[in-house]
């Protein structure tokens, strides 16, 4: 993929994350901090589909942004054909793994599998 | 008469500083060492003149590159009291210090002492095609001239002041670790030609820079623009160039 497309995604995911994380924080402010971390409250949040969907989108956005950022840092740290290939593919694999693991939690709680 | 008096006054203003010169020969030294010299200077004495004084009177083996002595050739870039500067364009008196330390530029391989290799800078500069690209020419017919309005000239003129001294590349934090990064000097020159209304090579150059070690590896540190001795603002050039890639400019 062209670097400009990757960086457009990088900036786009950052902007979208600012908006969605703001909503996420505002939602948390509707109750006290310790209250919001109570088991029933957390479960209820995940069961509320629009909110769970938003958390899923934040997970995807920040995984893409964070792992691309990590790729950039690693590419600037050291150079070499094999190393750079390993970094690029490694970051994509780690990104997919994190999204899969996070989605698993969201889906399991949302569908009442816990 | 008046002239003689002022000359005498100036002579008496002569002061001394300690000049610390980094010595390093990659062929047999494992680390950089410093040699110290006491140098007399006047308020107009430049750091380059002080180094040449050392070569003339104390140690002729100090390696330093210079030519024009007037901030035009771009040869004498070095780190002076921690900051990349031109030695011929830096007066000792402006440094406000009794100790002047000169070291070779960062991010350049050292040939010896203060002289560094410029191959990477020339290669990256060449890579961005630093010339007007178009099919026709004004040389072939004597009736033709590529006219430009003052506004069109304004778009790029400051960037054409670049003397390829490499101080910006020396100050850039990405250059320090990314050996494939194209660097602020070449990026600013890419902008200089892309923004020239006579040039048709924009797509070519943007393609070259749209690489994993190209324009996107600039992280807005801005140190390049802080150190440029010619008033070029490479950091701004890079962001304007990015504007084309992000669709804000055409
Ligand atoms: C939502 C707020 C965020 C915004 C507005 C944002 C914005 C940005 C921008 C503009 C860059 C590019 C900087 C550059 O090219 O120099 C960047 C890089 C980066 N971001 Fe974020 N980011 C945010 C959140 C995050 C989070 C939560 C993470 C961690 C998961 C993260 C990880 C990174 C990394 C590792 C880099 C690469 C480092 C760098 O290029 O300097 N960011 N971010
Ligand atoms: S942009 Fe300025 S600092 Fe960089 S090479 Fe050109 S003149 Fe030197
Ligand atoms: S000697 Fe030419 S720029 Fe300093």
What digits encode the pLDDT tens for the residues B40-89? 999 999 999 999 999 999 999 999 999 999 999 999 999 999 999 999 99
CB < 8 Å to B174, chain A:
76
Residue nearest to atom 2 of ligand 2 (CA): B228
Question: What is the DSSP annotation of chain B?
Answer: -HHHHHHHHHHHT-EEEEEEEEE--TTT-SS-EEEEEEEEE-TT-BHHHHHHHHHHHT-TT-----S-SSSSS---EEEETTEEEEGGG-BGGGG--SEEEEEPPTTS-EEETTEE--HHHHHHHHHT--S---SS-SSS-TT------HHHHHTTGGGGG-----HHHHH-HHHHH-TT--HHHHHHHHHHHHT-TT---HHHHHHHHSSTTSGGG--S--HHHHH-TT---HHHHHHHHHHHHHTS--
Q: A66 CB under 6 A from ligand 1?
A: yes
Among B173, B177, B203, B212, most A C-beta atoms within 10 A, so best to mutate, is: B212
List C-alpha distances in Å: B28 to B24, B34, B59, B141, B248: 8, 16, 19, 58, 52
The confidence score (pLDDT) of residue A30 equals 87
Per-residue pLDDT averaged across A57-77, rounded?
98
Contacts of B41 (CB under 8 A, 6+ apart): B14, B15, B16, B17, B49, B50, B92, B93
Residue A63 CA, closest ligand 1 atom number:
30
Per-residue pLDDT averaged across B165-176, rounded?
98
Residue A109: alpha-carbon gap to chain centroid:
17
Per-residue pLDDT averaged across B174-179, rounded?
98
Distance in angstroms (rounded) separating the CA atoms of residues A108 and A112: 6
The confidence score (pLDDT) of residue B140 equals 66
Q: Which of B244, B238, B248, B240 is closest to B214 using CA atoms?
A: B238
* Inter-chain contacts counted by CB atoms under 8 A, chains A and B: 31
| Residue of higher predicted confidence among B145 and B172 | B172
Closest partner residue to B177 among A2, A7, A76, by Cβ?
A76
Q: Give the pairing of strands B99-103 and B15-23.
A: parallel
Q: Indicate the CATH number for domain B2-116.
A: 3.10.20.30
Indicate the SS3 state at residue A37: coil
What confidence tier does B31 reach under pLDDT thresholds 50, 70, 90?
very high
Please identify which residue in the block is written with the tokens 């992280």: B219
Residue A15 CA, closest ligand 1 atom number:
5
| Residue of higher predicted confidence among B91 and A111 | B91
Per-residue pLDDT averaged across A72-86, rounded?
97
Query: If 0-12 CB within 10 Å is exposed, 13-18 middle and 19+ buried, where does residue B195 land?
Result: buried
Residue nearest to atom 10 of ligand 1 (CA): A11
Indicate the range of A5-9, A25-29, B61-65 predicted with least confidence.
Answer: A25-29
Interchain CB distance below 8 Å, A3 and B211: yes
What confidence tier does B250 reach under pLDDT thresholds 50, 70, 90?
confident
- Angle between the N-to-C axes of helices A81-110 and A49-77, in degrees from 0 to 180, rounded to the nearest 10: 170
Per-residue pLDDT averaged across A16-24, rounded?
96
**Boundaries of every domain in chain B:** 2-116, 119-246
The confidence score (pLDDT) of residue A24 equals 94
Residue B74 CA, closest ligand 3 atom number:
3
Radius of gyration of chain B (CA): 21
Q: Which of B107, B102, B105, B104 is closest to B92 using CA atoms?
A: B102
**Boundaries of every domain in chain A:** 3-110
Convert the pLDDT of each residue in B196-245 to its tens digit. 999 999 999 999 999 999 999 999 999 999 999 999 999 999 999 999 99
Q: B62 CB under 6 A from ligand 2?
A: no
Fold annotation for A3-110? 3 helical TM bundles of succinate and fumarate reductases (1.20.1300)
How far does the centroid of ligand 2 lie from the alpha carbon of residue B114, in Å?
Answer: 18
Mean pLDDT in chain A?
94
Q: Is the pLDDT of residue B181 over 90?
A: yes
Q: Is the pLDDT of residue B8 over 80?
A: no
Q: B105 CB under 6 A from ligand 2?
A: no
CB < 8 Å to A78, chain B:
177
Beta bridge partners of residue B99, listed in sequence order: B18
Residue nearest to atom 13 of ligand 1 (CA): B219
The ligand placed nearest to the CA atom of residue B83 is 2
The answer, yes or no, to whether ipTM is higher than 0.95 is no
The confidence score (pLDDT) of residue B143 equals 65
Indicate the range of A42-51, A57-66, B157-166 predicted with least confidence.
Answer: A42-51
How far does the centroid of ligand 1 lie from the alpha carbon of residue B236, in Å?
Answer: 21
Convert the pLDDT of each residue in B94-132 to its tens digit. 999 999 999 999 999 999 999 999 999 999 999 999 999
Among A1, A2, A3, A10, most B C-beta atoms within 10 A, so best to mutate, is: A3
Indicate the SS3 state at residue A41: helix
The model's pTM is 0.91
Residue B51: alpha-carbon gap to chain centroid:
19
Indicate the range of B9-23, B131-145, B157-171, B201-215 predicted with least confidence.
Answer: B131-145
CB B173 within 8 A of CB B106: no
Phi, psi of B79 (to 5 degrees): -90, 115
Q: Give the pairing of strands B77-80 and B15-23.
A: unpaired
Indicate the SS3 state at residue A113: coil
Indicate the range of A13-27, A63-77, B4-18 predicted with least confidence.
Answer: B4-18
Interchain CB distance below 8 Å, B181 and A77: no
Q: B79 CB under 6 A from ligand 2?
A: no
Q: Indicate the CATH number for domain B119-246.
A: 1.10.1060.10
């Amino acid at each position: 993929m062209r670097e400009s497309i990757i960086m457009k995604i990088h900036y786009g995911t950052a902007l979208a994350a600012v908006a969605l994380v703001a909503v996420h924080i505002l939602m948390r402010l509707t109750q006290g901090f310790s209250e919001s971390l109570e088991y029933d409250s957390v479960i209820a949040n995940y069961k509320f589909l629009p909110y769970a969907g938003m958390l899923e989108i934040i997970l995807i956005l920040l995984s893409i942004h964070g792992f691309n950022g990590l790729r950039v840092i690693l590419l600037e740290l050291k150079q070499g054909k094999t190393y750079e290939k390993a970094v690029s593919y490694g970051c994509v694999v780690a990104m997919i793994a994190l999204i899969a693991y996070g989605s698993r939690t969201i889906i399991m709680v949302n569908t009442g599998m816990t | 008469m008046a002239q003689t008096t002022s000359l005498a006054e100036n002579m008496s203003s002569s002061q001394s500083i300690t000049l610390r010169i980094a010595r390093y020969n990659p062929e047999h030294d494992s680390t950089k060492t410093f040699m110290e010299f006491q140098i007399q200077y006047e308020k107009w004495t430049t750091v380059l003149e002080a180094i040449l004084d050392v070569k003339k009177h104390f140690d002729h083996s100090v390696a330093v590159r210079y030519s024009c002595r007037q901030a035009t050739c771009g040869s004498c870039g070095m780190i002076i009291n921690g900051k990349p500067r031109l030695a011929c364009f830096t007066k000792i008196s402006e440094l406000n210090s009794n100790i002047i330390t000169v070291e070779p530029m960062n991010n350049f391989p050292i040939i010896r002492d203060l002289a560094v290799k410029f191959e990477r800078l020339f290669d990256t500069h060449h890579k961005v095609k630093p010339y007007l690209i178009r099919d026709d020419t004004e040389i072939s017919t004597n009736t033709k001239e590529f006219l430009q309005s003052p506004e069109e000239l304004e778009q790029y003129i400051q960037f054409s002041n670049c003397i390829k001294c490499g101080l910006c590349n020396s100050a850039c934090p990405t250059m320090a670790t990314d050996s494939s990064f194209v660097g602020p000097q070449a990026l600013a020159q890419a902008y200089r030609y892309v923004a020239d209304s006579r040039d048709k090579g924009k797509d070519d150059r943007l393609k070259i820079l749209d690489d994993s070690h190209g324009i996107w590896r600039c992280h807005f540190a801005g140190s390049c623009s802080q150190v440029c001795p010619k008033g070029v603002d490479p950091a701004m050039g890079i962001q304007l160039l990015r504007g084309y890639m992000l669709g804000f400019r055409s």
